[in-house]
Amino acid sequence: MQTLIAPAQLLKCMADDLRLRTLLLILNEKELCVCELTAALEQSQPKISRHLAQLRNCGLLQDRRQGQWVFYRLNPALPEWVLTTLNAIHDGNQTLIATDSERLQQMGDRPERAAACC
Amino acid sequence: MQTLIAPAQLLKCMADDLRLRTLLLILNEKELCVCELTAALEQSQPKISRHLAQLRNCGLLQDRRQGQWVFYRLNPALPEWVLTTLNAIHDGNQTLIATDSERLQQMGDRPERAAACC
DNA sequence: TTCCTATATATGGATATCCGCATATCCTAG
DNA sequence: CTAGGATATGCGGATATCCATATATAGGAA
């Protein structure tokens, strides 16, 4: 589904406020599931889910199912410039996900992660 | 017209193949005029002009008129993360503007730049 | 002024994007 | 199997984006 996407297309996928905040939150937390993102970003579940599908189809995110939850993380095969970009945006715009992160921390009953994978 | 644009909106402005190549060419050449970009990118003048207007309105580019020509350069007040991003994309995707640059070099009668400015 | 070159913009149509709502799928518990 | 929670997707409709074409504006030369 995603093999060698043009840089501009990857940028376009990042170039949406919700998707960008999603990426930065995941950059911070390593891994988040849909319900955590729904809570942190205060958006409807279908909306979050569709944006996550877009990010996955672009090759930016990778998903892993664990029980009822689906966890999303950055695709480890990401081109280096993408990571450089995300980190630069993160460092240059601390307020962008400040309240989102806060909501995430204050969220009760966050799903447990199994060391799993690989 | 452009005061403090959200990061996602800046990304969206960069997230178009033509506009991204335009930015990278200008990053390389410091300054280019519309006719040079029209030749390098092999696109119609109105199309180039409209994309340049978008880049200017986002605050990514700055223009300067010199005689009949209008030269575009990166806005010197650009947030650092934007420069980091452009450089990362440039370094990670050399082929992206390779033939554009070549066409630019082979273009005859490129307009002279006055040391002007300031 | 008139002509020519360089650049910008208006208009309208084709296409893409985004969202809300409803529904489907998948997994676990019982 | 049945029920319920978590996640994904289908279906319009509203909106935004993009382009080609035609036209307008600006500067320089005659």
| For residue B2, pLDDT beyond 90 | no
Give the angle subtended at the CA of B113 by the CAs of B107 and B117, to the nearest 5°.
Answer: 150
pLDDT tens track for A14-33: 999 999 999 999 999 999 99
Rg of the Cα atoms in chain B: 14
**Hey, CA dihedral for A28, A33, A37, A40, is it positive or negative?**
negative
| For residue A1, pLDDT beyond 60 | no
Give the mean model confidence (pLDDT) for residues A50-60. Answer: 98
Per-chain mean pLDDT for chain B: 93
Give the mean model confidence (pLDDT) for residues B78-83. Answer: 98
B93 touches chain A (CB under 8 A): yes
pLDDT tens track for A71-113: 999 999 999 999 999 999 999 999 999 999 999 999 988 998 8
H or E stretch covering A16: none
SS3 label, residue A67 = coil
Residue of A nearest to B93 (CA): A7
Q: CA of A76: how far to CAs of A40, A42, A80, A84, B14, in Å?
A: 23, 27, 10, 13, 24
Candidate from B6, B20, B84 with C-beta closest to A11: B20
| Whole-angstrom distance, CA of residue A84 vs CA of residue A14 | 13
Predicted local distance difference test score (pLDDT) of residue B3: 58
Is there a contact between B87 and A80 (Cβ–Cβ < 8 Å)?
no
Predicted local distance difference test score (pLDDT) of residue B90: 98
Give the mean model confidence (pLDDT) for residues A56-68. Answer: 97
Predicted local distance difference test score (pLDDT) of residue B26: 98
Q: Measured between CA atoms, how close is B15 to chain A, in angstroms? A: 5
The DSSP result for A75-108, as a single string, is -TT--HHHHHHHHHHHHH-GGGGHHHHHHHHT-S
* pLDDT level of residue B113 (50, 70, 90 thresholds): confident
Is there a contact between B89 and B17 (Cβ–Cβ < 8 Å)?
no
Residue of B nearest to A16 (CA): B8
User: Which residue, chain included where needed, has tokens 């806005």?
Assistant: B75
* pLDDT level of residue B1 (50, 70, 90 thresholds): very low
Predicted local distance difference test score (pLDDT) of residue A88: 98
B98 touches chain A (CB under 8 A): no
Predicted local distance difference test score (pLDDT) of residue A29: 97
Q: How many Å apart are A57 CA and D22 C1'?
A: 40
| Whole-angstrom distance, CA of residue A39 vs CA of residue A44 | 9
Predicted local distance difference test score (pLDDT) of residue A109: 80
Q: Measured between CA atoms, how close is A60 to chain B, in angstroms? A: 15
Domains and CATH numbers, chain A: 17-100 (1.10.10.10)
User: Which residue, chain included where needed, has tokens 């909306």?
Assistant: A47
User: Within its chain, how far is the Cα of A81 from the centroid?
Assistant: 17
Strands A69-74 and A32-33: antiparallel
Is there a contact between B25 and B64 (Cβ–Cβ < 8 Å)?
no
H or E stretch covering B93: none
| Whole-angstrom distance, CA of residue A80 vs CA of residue A1 | 20
Is there a contact between B49 and B36 (Cβ–Cβ < 8 Å)?
no
